[in-house]
Structure 1
Amino acid sequence: MLTPSRLKLARNRRGLTREQLSKLAGITTRSLLAYENGTQRPTPDNLDRLASALDMPTAFLLGGDVDEIPLEAISFRALSKIPAGKRDMARSAGRIALMLAHWIDQRRAIPMPDVPDLADADPETAAETLRNRWELQRDGVDNMIRLLECRGVRVFCVALDCHEVDAYSFYWNATPFIFLNTTKTAERTRFDAAHELGHLVLHASARPARRPQTEREADRFASALLMPRASILASGLRNASAEHIIASRARWRVSAMALAHRLHELSLLTDWGYRAVCVELARLGYRSGEPEGIAAEHSQVIMEALKATQPDTSLVDQAASDLHLTVGELRKYIDGLLPTDSASHRRTPPRRPTLSLLP
């Protein structure tokens, strides 16, 4: 029997309205509404039509009931600028990733979440408090994704067909999740991960609507976490030139622009000096990219789960079979977090779409 919640999940995952799915599947809009409401069952032929139109195995539509992630539970950046269809696509993709997370949980031990609620602290203090609690090294964070996973935060990719959506985060059954747009530079992805951690630490309990103030707070938290005040002040970067900043960014594994902003934030660059540095960095290509940047970080949790599968079966093949999804669908949540030449999961790097990054 068709599961109504799965039909709606699959339709939203593909970014389709009922009218659009009606045309693709050759089924009336009235019937689709009845299917989603659970007041009518499709014929076997119509069920196959739906599965084909949605590019989902028929078995997926027949699985157990699924709860929808409430929109208010998710920290979407610049929510008002995201088309409703793309927002629902990303939210539905997140729900499928929860299924994959549960599948992984059954195969390896996951650390219990250790993300404190520091809503009453200012971002700089919250970052320093977290650094002390997690006993982080003086100069920053060596591997942001590994750090999150060691503290029980589940990390997945924002699906490539949702590239208009930036990184986002939410709690599900008391477990924190962060989704990263891995088509960006490694430095930007690290900062996004720290930014989303900032939302989990500063805003999860109250869950305020995303607005410029909360975004600035999360940015300030990320800067303070990745580039600790004491380390920056002791670095000798007062009035640093663009060349000096470029040469120093690898110490904290951040972008040149992020380091320049942090220096300005800590009054090590004057307003005029900061503007001049930004102009020069942009001229050198550091506004749109990160020439000779760091290597991408990978998910230890996913890599270890991959090793736990049968030797002749890859993670996505086994997971796709168990979760009744296509291999292509499963890859969208993990490929950007795996080494491209992984011995146990060879893959072709996904074609990078043209991004329209949200502020």
Structure 2
Amino acid sequence: MFYGEKLTSLRELNGLSRKDLADQLKITEQAVWQYETDSILPRIEILNQLRSLFNVETKYFFSPVYLSDKFSEEKVAYRAEDRESRKKTKLELTFLNYVYYYINYFERNLVIPDAKIKSIRQKCIEIVRENKLEKKELIKTIAELSRAELALDNNKDLMYVLENSGIYIVEKNLGSQIDAYSTVTSDGRLFIILGTLKKSAVRRNFDLAHELGHLLLHSEVDMGILTTAELKVIEKEAHLFASIFLLPKEEFTRDFLELKRKSNPDYYIDLKKKYLVSISALEMRAYGLELMSYQENRYFWGQLTKKEYKSFEPLDDEISPVKPGKIRSLFKFVLDKQVIDLPVLLDHFNILPEFLIELFSLDKHFFEEYLETKKDFFSDTTIIDLANHRKKAELS
């Protein structure tokens, strides 16, 4: 039996509309709809095209559906302008369900300690529910609490600390309009999805802290029903959280007051090295702490524009962005320990290695050492040297 639902999910996973897929297969959009609704069975040549396009075996479409919905639209935190597209949200939910399923599959035989982030998040939820603090003070309290609970001493360790706390961080091609987003599953697992578009290390750090802010501040907010104006407020709150979280007040104030010229962006380079935060974010934090005058602030932004630092700052091409490592380590651990046999997994799900490589943005050679190379029937056979054989026969 052909399962059209699996074709739909693969199409959505790859960000394709029915028309997009029809164009690639050189068939009608109506035909794609008929495949997905189980009205007709694709021809063998179409199945072969689908195999190549989606990195699955043709048998994939003839095996039962295994995905289940673990994510909901109201829990996906996008940038405000990105949430205009409901279609985009639906495609991301499909991606998230695939990611969740395979992570869960790789972890199923492991005893994993309780995630620290869950207890931190619960403390933050209780603080928000009490609602006794003015909003800025509430954000400050949660940012300082979470940094202390995570024991983050140096911002260069942010990716590792967040992954080690229990957050799953995945890279994905999100296009040029989306930097990152965050969400939580129905069973309480936290995810941050980072765009693969090349960004500076400091901007990636801020994206991580921003999404952490959403996960801790807005856990009980229904993102799906907010207006554009309300979403902008939510974004500003996550932005303020990231600033406070990455630039602790006392330490940052002490360092900032040592600057010789507060209004000159070039004097911020050492602070950028230390905190791994952009020059503009450093100044905004300083101005928010009233460490600069209004005139110094105005002059700073004039200089930032003049030096064209809004698009590219000093050190942006020197500090390498950190890539997520937890999921790679998970895969390597279970495969090295032979908890899972990769060929058996691929055969069970009827997928090709490239399917997992693309899903998790892995190196293209990641699985090579775990794939068995089957011997040819004659791989152990030697070839007789006929000329040498005749010579030996003549001598005998």
- Scaled to the shorter chain, the TM-score interval is 0.7 to 0.9
In 2, Cα distance between equivalents of 1:302 and 1:212: 32
The list of structure 1 runs, each at least 4 consecutive aligned residues, that deviate by more than 6 angstroms after superposition, is 317-322
In 2, Cα distance between equivalents of 1:136 and 1:80: 30
Cα distance 1:221–1:151, how it changes in 2: closer, same or farther (>3 A)? same
CA RMSD of aligned residues (A): 3.6
- SS of 2:312's partner is coil
Residue equivalent to 2:281: 258
Once the two structures are superposed, what CA deviation does each residue of 1:126-153 show, in whole Å capped at 9, x if it has no partner? 101212333333xx53411111111110
Residue equivalent to 1:273: 296
Cα distance 1:186–1:324, how it changes in 2: closer, same or farther (>3 A)? farther
Shift of 1:341: 12
Residue equivalent to 2:101: 99
In 1, Cα distance between equivalents of 2:326 and 2:11: 29
Residue equivalent to 2:141: 125
User: Given that residues 260 and 278 in structure 1 are in contact (C-alpha distance below 8 angstroms), is that contact kept between their aligned partners in structure 2?
Assistant: no
Once the two structures are superposed, what CA deviation does each residue of 1:11-61 show, in whole Å capped at 9, x if it has no partner? 123333223433433555445334434565545555444444556443443
Residue equivalent to 1:298: 323
1:1-359 paired onto structure 2 within 5 Å:
1-26=1-26, 28-38=28-38, 41-42=41-42, 44=44, 46-52=46-52, 54=54, 56-61=56-61, 62=63, 64-68=65-69, 69-80=71-82, 83=85, 86-106=88-108, 110-113=112-115, 114-115=117-118, 116-117=121-122, 118-119=124-125, 120=128, 122-137=138-153, 140-157=154-171, 159-160=172-173, 162-172=175-185, 173-182=187-196, 183-208=198-223, 209=226, 211-237=231-257, 240=262, 241-293=264-316, 294-308=319-333, 310=335, 324-335=350-361
Cα distance 1:125–1:16, how it changes in 2: closer, same or farther (>3 A)? same
Residue equivalent to 2:389: none
Q: Which range moved further: 181-190 or 191-200? A: 181-190
- SS of 1:295's partner is coil
Shift of 1:169: 0.8
- Number of aligned residues: 338
In 1, Cα distance between equivalents of 2:202 and 2:89: 25
- SS of 1:170's partner is strand
- TM-score, length basis structure 1: 0.78
Q: Which range moved further: 197-206 or 32-41? A: 32-41
Cα distance 1:33–1:198, how it changes in 2: closer, same or farther (>3 A)? same
Residue equivalent to 2:384: none
Q: Report percent identity of matched pairs.
A: 24
User: Given that residues 213 and 241 in structure 2 are in contact (C-alpha distance below 8 angstroms), is that contact kept between their aligned partners in structure 1?
Assistant: yes
Cα distance 1:58–1:269, how it changes in 2: closer, same or farther (>3 A)? farther
In 2, Cα distance between equivalents of 1:307 and 1:55: 21
Cα distance 1:236–1:247, how it changes in 2: closer, same or farther (>3 A)? same
Q: Aligned letter for 2:311?
A: S
Q: Which range moved further: 240-249 or 29-38? A: 29-38
In 2, Cα distance between equivalents of 1:109 and 1:286: 48
Q: Aligned letter for 1:265?
A: G
Q: Which runs of 5+ in 2 are unaligned?
A: 370-396
Cα distance 1:170–1:255, how it changes in 2: closer, same or farther (>3 A)? same
Cα distance 1:295–1:109, how it changes in 2: closer, same or farther (>3 A)? farther
Shift of 1:163: 4.0
- SS of 1:211's partner is helix
- SS of 1:165's partner is coil
Cα distance 1:65–1:332, how it changes in 2: closer, same or farther (>3 A)? closer
In 2, Cα distance between equivalents of 1:285 and 1:329: 41
Q: Aligned letter for 1:58?
A: T
